[in-house]
Every structure is written in C-alpha cells, then in structure tokens.
Chains A and B, each alone.
Chain A
Amino acid sequence: GDSVTQMEGPVTLSEEAFLTINCTYTATGYPSLFWYVQYPGEGLQLLLKATKADDKGSNKGFEATYRKETTSFHLEKGSVQVSDSAVYFCALSDRRGLTGGGNKLTFGTGTQLKVEL
C-alpha cells in the first residue's frame, strides 16, 4: 500500500537557519503530495501541495518540489523563524481517490521543528 517516510525529529535550529525536512513516498498510483503543519494547540493546516512531477509547491517561504524519479518531496525554507516551530507532516493522496472522488490522505509520522533565538 501507499506509505510516506519522513525524517525523525525533533529538528532544532537557530533563527534564520536553513531548513530541510526529508520526505519520500511509496505509491502504487500517481499521487498528489502535500505538506501539512500543526502549530501548538491548533489543528492541521495545509502548508503547500504539488499535483504532478516537477511541480513546486510554495507558501510562507516554504517550498517543496515533486520529484517523481526519486519519489521525494522534501520541504525547505531558506530562513526559519521562531514562529515556524511546529510539527510538519508529509502526506500523499492517491489520484484515484475514494469512491465518488474523495481525498484520502496517507501521512508520514511528522517531524517536530523547534526554532530558537
């Protein structure tokens, strides 16, 4: 079945450091790929997405490129801030979706990011 593997945390960085969180996937179909973020005390929020190979998703200074050849979707940010401290989840969605065209996501285990001053 489909699966997502992401680097274990916690990742601790100083403010303005460069961030990379690795994510690789296994899928039987041709998935769409996502990064979700969970800030302390809040629900999961979509951070960015990419629906086909070589697409780059971007939002709030974060970027990730859909690499079909390496089955990867690594999250990057050039300069992190304390406010980026959160848990980041990589996820995929099988294009075939659920019956009736729903959107079942398969998540990785999450990577906690701590950014310090």
Chain B
Amino acid sequence: DTGVSQDPRHKITKRGQNVTFRCDPISEHNRLYWYRQTLGQGPEFLTYFQNEAQLEKSRLLSDRFSAERPKGSFSTLEIQRTEQGDSAMYLCASSLPTMGTGTITGELFFGEGSRLTVL
C-alpha cells in the first residue's frame, strides 16, 4: 500500500497521559498536514510541514501539542497531559509540491486517521 498510513488507528488513554501518533506520507510528497476531526464536524487544520520545516500552526494547537518531522519523511504528533476535549480523530495528509507560486494543485491525500479517546 503506497498511501498515507497512520498509527495507531485507535488509542484509548486516561486523562493526563501522553499520547503519540505517527504518520507516514506518500514517499514523493514533501508536504505533510495534520488535521483534527470531531464528531459531526469537518476536519480542522492543525499544522503543516514542508520537508522537515513546520511552517504554520493553528491556534487550535495548544502548548500541549507538538508535531515533528525530523527527516522530512514521517511525522509524529504528540499530545501531553491529555484532556477529554482532545478526544477526536487525528488525520494526516500529504501532497505534492505546488507548481510555482499561486498555482495550487489542490489534492491532499489523507490517511485513515487515528482515533483518540480520552477517559
């Protein structure tokens, strides 16, 4: 399978524990995105990497959240001191580079997501 893969698919944890999610993008994609999706809502942007550089973070990404992409390939999203409000599906997506400024190819390729339940 050469699509975006995420691990684990499901995580149940107790409030206050730390959790880490991993995302492996499509190999030739240099852009990687994290989104969060809660029940009945559309995905919300969290953060974005171009290669290993984290270029934008949403205000949704509190200090308890940290994302890395150390070698410009896979990425991790860590949530420290989890709260019940962190329960959600965490989606990873990747994309090809855009072709010149102002030209957006548009397609993000999404993984199946990592579902977090905080008890």
Q: Is the CB of A99 within 8 A of B108?
A: no
| A43 and B113 form a contact (CB under 8 A) | yes
A window 31-60: CB within 8 A of B: 32, 34, 36, 41-46, 49, 51
Contact present for A99 and B43 (CB under 8 Å): no
Q: Tell me which residues across on chain A come within 8 A of B103, comparing CB atoms.
A: 101
* Contact assessment for B106 and A32 in the assembled complex, using a CB-CB cutoff below 8 Å: yes
Number of interface residues of B (CB under 8 A): 32
Interface size, chain A (Cβ < 8 Å): 31
Known A100-B50, A103-B105, A104-B48: A44·B110 in contact at CB below 8 Å: yes
Report how many A-B pairs have Cβ atoms within 8 Å.
84
Q: Evaluate contact between B107 and A46: CB separation under 8 angstroms.
A: yes
What separation, in Å, do the CA atoms of A36 and B110 have in the docked complex?
10
A93 proximal to B (CB < 8 A): yes
Instruction: Please give the distance in Å from B92's CB to the nearest CB on chain A.
Output: 9
Partner among A49, A101, A105, A107 whose Cβ is within 8 Å of the Cβ of B101: A101
Whether A107 and B42, one on each chain, are in contact in the complex, defined by CB atoms closer than 8 angstroms, is: yes
* Chain B hits for A91, CB < 8 A: 42
Q: Is A106 an interface residue (CB 8 A)?
A: yes
With A43-B113, A104-B56: A89-B97 Cβ-Cβ less than 8 Å:
no
For the complex formed, measure the closest distance between the CB of A113 and the CB atoms of chain B, giving whole angstroms: 15
Closest 4 CB pairs of A and B: A107-B42, A44-B110, A101-B98, A43-B110
